[in-house]
Homo-oligomer: A and B are copies of this chain.
Amino acid sequence: MSKENYQNYKKHFINFYQRSRRLPSYAEMLSIFNFQSKNAVAKVVAKFVDEGLVGKDETGRLIAGPDMFGVRLLGTVQAGLPTTAEQEVGEALSLDEYLIEKKDKTYLLEVTGDSMIEAGINEGDLVIVEQGRAPKVGDIVIAEVDHEWTMKFLEKENGRMILKPANKNYPIIRPQGEMNIGGVVKGVARKY
């Protein structure tokens, strides 16, 4: 099979996965690759497996490989980029997997206000919050004080927990009664 054709198969294959979030069956590949014989499909799939695009689990079933759901991590900004030629370096990384550890205890919040701007958290960012984790000093926490929820650094002052913004223009909060911690900020995602 010609190289261009193969890249085309690959493209259609990945497209299918993006749309349907599952791998196509052989019969489905038959039509998206425009083949007449399932055997032709089988040969293409074998190449996919060789290339690592897809894997096989213990039962022989196809599973998506890292390239199907992730993006390649190419290097560091100042260490230099690879050449503009075909980049086969770098491992594929899913941002979901990177940022979220305990999926069922994690939720997202959109940030309003600029009280954490010096910590690199801007208005409009999404913060990844994990519940049910004991917050440590230095963590960024989602806390309820006086029936209002805010995001601040958790610090200790004279043996008491205080909430410290990352913006000089905002005051440190020294909670009087009890403080309710809604979760610990584990990550930040921003889109331009």
Contact = CB atoms under 8 A, between A and B. Distances in A.
Best-buried of A23, A77, A103, A107 by chain B (most CB within 10 Å): A77
A57 interface: yes
A29 to B, nearest CB: 14
Given A78-B113, A120-B121, A121-B120, A190 B187 contact: yes
Interface stretch (A35-43, A45-53, A89-97, A156-164): A89-97
A2 interface: no
A151 B192 CA distance: 15
A72 interface: yes
A117 to B, nearest CB: 7
Interface residues of A, number: 69
A34 to B, nearest CB: 19
A151 to B, nearest CB: 5
A187 B191 contact: yes
Given A63-B21, A77-B151, A99-B191, A108 B72 contact: yes
Best-buried of A70, A81, A148, A182 by chain B (most CB within 10 Å): A81
Contacts of A22: 22-23, 61, 63-64
A95 B93 contact: no
A92 to B, nearest CB: 9
A139 B142 CA distance: 31
B189 A112 contact: no
Interface of A: 11, 14, 18, 20-23, 57, 61, 63-64, 69-81, 84, 87, 90, 93-96, 98-100, 103-104, 106-113, 117, 120-122, 125-128, 139-140, 142, 144, 148-151, 182, 185-192
